[in-house]
Amino acid sequence: MGGVKKTERDTGRRPGPMTEIAARLKSLERKNWGSRQVNEILRKASAYFAQAELDRRFKR
């Protein structure tokens, strides 16, 4: 049944994104999620090392 709906969307007889566009969107969303995860890790690491540098300066 899913194949019929997909074919109808791809030919314009049913509303909704075409299969190719939906697959591309899903791929981009996955990449975006991965980039957000990397950015979050880098942000936390940066804050950690900045705090460590401040602590080191005050201990002298």
pLDDT in single tens digits along all 60 residues of the chain: 467 777 887 787 888 778 888 889 999 999 999 999 999 999 999 999 999 998 887 776
- CB of 8 closer than 8 Å to CB of 14: yes
Residue 40, domain extent: 2-58
Phi, psi (5° rounding) for residue 38?
-60, -45
Domain count, the chain: 1
How far apart CA 30 and CA 8 sit, in angstroms, is: 26
